[in-house]
Amino acid sequence: MNMYEPHLDSCSVRNVPAEGRAGYGQDLFGVSMIIPLLSHHVKSLGASPIVSGIVGSTYGVLQLFSSTLVGSWSDVVGRRFSLLTCLLLSAFGYGLLGISTSIALFVLARTPVGLFKHSLSICRALLSDVVSESERPLVMGHFNAASSVGFILGPVVGGYLTEHEGGFYLSSFVCAAIFLLNAGLVWMLPWGEILNQHLDTNRSSKSRHINDELSNCSENHRGCSSSTEVFHFVVSLCKNWGSMALLQLSSVMIQIHRVASSDLWDVFLVRLLMALAIMLYHSNFSLAMEERFGLKPKLTGCMISYSSMLGALAGCLIGPMTRLYRGNMSTLLLHSTAFTCSLIFLYAAAGSIWHVLLSSTFFAISTSVGRTCITDLELQHGGAKASGTLIGAGQSVTAVGRILAPLLSGLAQEISPCGPPSLGVLLALSALVLLLFRTPKWAKRKDMKAKE
């Protein structure tokens, strides 16, 4: 539970306004316009392949360290303020990217994006705050589906814009405008105003005093009639801001310590292993299709879009599947992991393009289900009061996978075009074995919490 917002168990996703649900996919729509163009833009700036790789890894490293911190910060200061901050600073980063005419400026533009592009994580934490535990998998599935839709359309629009002169810079400015639009939506959403009308009952009297002082700054400033009073006012204001920053920092550290000392190593390890396996599946997909089956890049792109579209539709299956498993997310994760492992093996051993198409069809569905399950398990075992910290920690684990996957893929590809997915099979099998041992313990832990 954060310090400034109450937990509303009675709310459901139906209370989230339509403009809020529409904004879910806009984030990834804007980002997916830029991602396919980054490597080409860095190359056009004169960067060598090594420099391009180092610059590309900067974002992953920043996300690794900032995901947990920003998630915990959202628990402390509230979802609305943290979400607005992340959206505005991300918009600034993409706007700066739109004027990047040198490698140094490009790296500078990627810094605020790497540090603060956590709007989707904060949205997931917000949804976990306002929906009940039984509704959470369904809501998360719909959220992932909306996000995937944006990722399907974004590359098409970005590719169209790049056909014109200065297309990359135009795409960057459009992306920045989308983030600013999302910030405006967050500012106007009624549920944001409702949450900020209440104070958490656990909020300390000291932080309340600080907040009241800061909210009355304008009124106090009007009462300053002399330079001495102005000086004392400024000193008092600096002390209040310093106290507030110190209070927030200490609260963030406490939240992170609680998550770090909790018994969540197994959940995070499963997330890391499956993230690596999935990234290895996708790592050299286009190159492997060309080398193994002589498939043209245009057809490969159509296959990727087809898979992404199925992943978006899979979000609608979360609700029926959750009811089928009676809310047992650990068992659903076990079965989806086994299915994903089998599909990666089918892709690695595919003898024809039809085998690849078959694996791609169900792979998008199984990974979408697994992603929802692992997020729900993190919130179940870690406690909903620190949902931002938990989701941020999960994103940090995924960032580790983003850093390791290119290295592992390059090493495996030296052996064979089928090397990366074959290594992915081994990692998925490791996750499956871990789940076989831990799933019964998770079920017992859930039963004990239910009895309490």
Q: What is the mean pLDDT of residues 335-343?
A: 92
Residue 293 structure tokens:
């089956």
pLDDT surpassing 80 at residue 138? no
One domain, residues 51 and 143:
yes
Average pLDDT rounded to a whole number, residues 261-269: 80
Q: Are residues 113 and 190 in the same domain?
A: yes
State the pLDDT confidence band at 16, using cuts at 50, 70 and 90. Answer: very low
* Cα 276 to Cα 203: distance, rounded to the nearest angstrom: 40
276 and 412 in a single domain? The answer is yes
- Is the pLDDT reported for residue 320 higher than 80? yes
For the stretch 276-298, pLDDT in tens is: 999 888 877 766 777 778 777 66
Q: What is the pLDDT of residue 448?
A: 61
Q: Answer whether residue 449 is part of any domain.
A: yes
Query: Which of 183, 203, 223 is at the close of a domain?
Result: 203
408 plus 304 within the same structural domain: yes
Q: Dump pLDDT digits (tens) for 233-251.
A: 444 545 565 666 666 666 6
- What mean pLDDT do residues 315-338 have? 84
User: Are 319 and 405 within one domain?
Assistant: yes
pLDDT at 140 over 70: yes
Residue 238 lies in a domain: no
Asked if residue 278 and residue 173 are part of one domain, the reply reads no
Cβ–Cβ under 8 Å, residues 243 and 407: no
CB 390 within 8 A of CB 71: yes
- pLDDT value, residue 169: 87
In a domain, 380, yes or no: yes
Q: Let me know if residue 220 belongs to a domain.
A: no
* Residues 176, 275 share a domain: no
pLDDT at position 42 over 90:
no
Cβ(151)–Cβ(28) below 8 Å? yes
Q: In the chain, what are the helix, strand and coil shares in percent, each to the nearest 5?
A: 85, 0, 15
**Which residue, among 183, 125, 86, has the nearest Cα to 7 in the 3D structure?**
125
Are 84 and 183 part of one and the same domain? yes
Whole-number pLDDT of residue 192 = 46
Q: What is the pLDDT of residue 243?
A: 64
In single-letter form, the type of residue at position 142 comes to H
Element (H, E) at 288: helix 285-293
Q: H helices of 315-418, where?
A: 318-324, 329-348, 353-382, 387-413
Q: Which of 64-78, 160-174, 372-386 has the highest mean pLDDT?
A: 64-78
Among the candidates 203, 234, 261, a domain finishes at 203
Q: How many domains does the chain have?
A: 2
Looking at the fold, whether 408 and 261 belong to one and the same domain comes out as yes
Domain co-membership, 158 together with 283: no
Contacts of 177 (CB under 8 A, 6+ apart): 91
Q: Is position 228 within any domain?
A: no
pLDDT of residue 451: 57
Residues 193, 258, single domain; the answer is no
* Cα angle value 313/344/59 (rounded, 5°): 75
The answer to the question of residue 243 being in a domain is: no
pLDDT of 9 reads 37
Q: What is the DSSP letter of 263?
A: S
As a whole-number percent, the residues of the chain with pLDDT over 70 amount to: 71
3-state secondary structure of 101: coil
Higher pLDDT, 389 or 228: 389
**Domain match, 257 and 194 both:** no
Is 141 contained in some domain? Answer: yes
Domain holding 180, by residue range, is 1-203
Instruction: Decide if 388 contacts 74 (C-beta within 8 A).
Output: yes
The CATH number that applies at residue 286 is 1.20.1250.20
Backbone φ and ψ of 217, nearest 5°: -60, -45
pLDDT for 92 beyond 60: yes
Does residue 336 belong to any structural domain of this protein?
A: yes
How much is the pLDDT for 228?
A: 44
Which of 119-128, 149-158, 412-421 shows the lowest mean pLDDT across its residues?
149-158
